[in-house]
Chain A
Amino acid sequence: MSRVAVRRATNVAMHILAALAALVVILPLVLILGFLIFRGSTALNVAFFVHLPTPVGEPGGGMANAIAGSLILIGLAAAVGVPLGILGGVYLAQSRDRRLPWLCRFLADVLNGVPSIVIGIFAYTLIVLPMRRFSALAGGVALGVIMLPIILRTTEELVRLVPASLQEAALALGLPQWKVVLHVVLPTARAGIITGVMVAVARIAGETAPLLFTAFGNRFWHRRLDEPIAALPLQIFSYAISPFDDWHRQAWAGALVLISLVLVMSLLARLATKGLYNRRGTYG
């Protein structure tokens, strides 16, 4: 074979190998999603959404408290993470200092890589120990800390994209800085910031590890926010490691609900920024 033929053959071979690698990467997604939809949809019914869990051996029951608990935890987390993240992001984007934004970006990326269970320990020592009990609040704070770096980074990046001329125009009309930010900068960057928030919510909705010893889980309805609260991922975990078939079925149903929530969030996030990012993703 001539050298050119060898080079062409190598080229074709590498194309095929790379395509195979991509295929192998996607295969688990198909397997997991397929299995999840198959198992989950047969176990899912109305009772799942409106009933409390039943004791072992008693058929029926649902995860109503866990679904509500997850939503409350997400709300608490957003109350912590969203305002802090957006305000911080605006500051970083507009700061004239060069070192502080660099440091914060670095810290945000590092915090993003810290295992979520370590954040759980943080919330435990900060809130559970002084309060002497597991609580929804502690869970919300843990999840909020996980949201924080994601929202901070996306807000900063998006605010940087707001044209300086727009802000100058507003300033030239005599608006004070805070009104410029409120009425010009943030609305211009809104779609991207919303995307950041939804990416962050999608990330925390499925978090289990930081809730194990903060929100703790609850087989009944919680009454107050300083009490243990149920969460969908926690319930799936405890059912998945149980030896009962009935509970496994419930776990699949819960997983299907959870993943629908997460995927809808991710899809909305993607649609909101269509065209804003064409090549680079928003994930840190």
Chain B
Amino acid sequence: MLKSELAGAATGLAVPRSLVPGRRRGVWGDRLYQAAVRAAVLVFVVVVLGIAALLVYAARPALAAFGWRFLVTADWDPVAEHFGALPFVYGTLVSALLGMLIAVPFGVGSAIYLAELAPFWIRPPVAFLVELLAAIPSVVYGLWGIVVLAPLLRTWVQPALARGLGFLPLFQGPPYGVGMLAAGIILAIMVVPFIVAVSREVLLAVPTQQREAALALGATRWETTRLAVLRYARSGLLGAILLGLGRALGETMAVTMVIGNRPEIALSLFAPGYTMASVIANEFTEATSDLYLAALIEIGLLLFVVTVAVNALARLLVWSVGGAVKEVRE
């Protein structure tokens, strides 16, 4: 109580102005200062809202021309000016889900290792390496995907999958290397560091008393983790996974470079696909008509809405754990 009052006194203008020597200069300076900081926050809020407003504004022609059918039509023909986003929505969802399917077990597993199980000397260097992984630019992952991953998939992985699991429609068709599978794998590699970083933070935010209580009852480290830590951090971990999903949905360059860029809906993971982000990246500067451009911007708007929803949900979940922790500490 006292602390917050003092902070208020320090930051507001609680000191009577008449007590401040040379107050005229100070008052003008303070007014300028207040105006500047307020303007900065205002600009920030306007930018965020402006992104949404401008996207809607620029997508108007497409919104008016296609309505909600835009989402369920699979026809993408710039020459005839027929635009349907279904192949891109499908490609985005499938590649992101595939990536998450690979990334989540490894990501959460490493976060558990780093926060709970690993010997203490191992934790900082490994956490640092994972952070480095997050710092590698998308285009570098893409380059690696084109030069190393795609040939590897084409010559070794895809033939092996076709031999072993070829009876499933998922693993049929010619092995190109580039395609949905390559996109899923590269997404998994790119998203994993975020899942690890946020999950680890969530786990570290779990109060130590939780662990001590479980250990005192005779639980092993793993039982402590499972019963006292993971259960407590459940919603935060879900938030971490959703943050990763948000990244995967919006990831552009690396996916564009390895997914094959063909607006078709194919069941096989070997087939090339296309995502919402990559069609914008590839075709935006080539959009010759206003409607074409508006259709691409509408895809951008869709991407914006989806990622904002996913991220907002994720944030609320992560904060719910952090908030609970703060209450315990205070």
Q: Do A and B bind each other?
A: yes
CA distance A85 to B267 in the complex (A): 45
Query: What 1/0 flags go to A258-284 for Cβ under 8 Å of B?
Result: 110011001000100000000111010
Q: Which of A124, A205, A280 contacts B201 (CB 8 A)?
A: A280
Asked if A216 CB lies within 8 Å of chain B CBs, one says yes
Q: Chain A contact residues: over half helix, strand or loop, or mixed?
A: helix
Q: Which residue of B lies closest to A101 (CB)?
A: B41
CA distance A212 to B280 in the complex (A): 10
Asked if B308 CB lies within 8 Å of chain A CBs, one says yes
Residues of A within 8 A of B136 (CB): 29, 32, 206, 259, 262
Interface size, chain A (Cβ < 8 Å): 101
B252 lies within 8 A of A114 (CB): no
Asked if B237 CB lies within 8 Å of chain A CBs, one says no
Binds A, one of B43-51, B62-70, B78-86, B162-170: B43-51
Query: What 1/0 flags go to B24-50 for Cβ under 8 Å of A?
Result: 011101101110111111011101101
Q: Which residue of A lies closest to B309 (CB)?
A: A110
Binds B, one of A12-20, A44-52, A53-61, A189-197: A12-20
Interface residues of A in 85-126 (CB under 8 A from B): 85-88, 90-92, 94-96, 100, 103-104, 106-119, 121-122, 124-126
Asked if B58 CB lies within 8 Å of chain A CBs, one says yes
Interface residues of A in 9-47 (CB under 8 A from B): 10-11, 14-15, 17-22, 24-26, 28-29, 31-33, 35-36, 39
Residues of B within 8 A of A39 (CB): 147
Residues of B within 8 A of A126 (CB): 50, 54
A26 lies within 8 A of B133 (CB): yes
Asked if A208 CB lies within 8 Å of chain B CBs, one says yes
26 A-B pairs whose Cβ atoms sit less than 8 Å apart in the complex: A19-B113, A21-B107, A87-B37, A88-B41, A91-B41, A96-B8, A104-B41, A104-B45, A114-B51, A115-B304, A121-B55, A124-B284, A125-B297, A164-B6, A171-B15, A174-B22, A176-B23, A176-B27, A178-B30, A179-B29, A206-B140, A209-B281, A255-B143, A266-B132, A281-B131, A281-B201
Question: What is B's interface to A at a CB cutoff of 8 Å?
Answer: 3, 6-13, 15, 19-23, 25-27, 29-30, 32-34, 36-41, 43-45, 47-48, 50-51, 54-55, 57-58, 105-110, 112-114, 116-118, 126, 128-144, 146-148, 189, 192-193, 196-197, 201, 204, 220-223, 225, 243, 246-247, 249-253, 257, 277, 280-281, 284-285, 297, 300, 303-304, 307-308, 310-312, 314-315
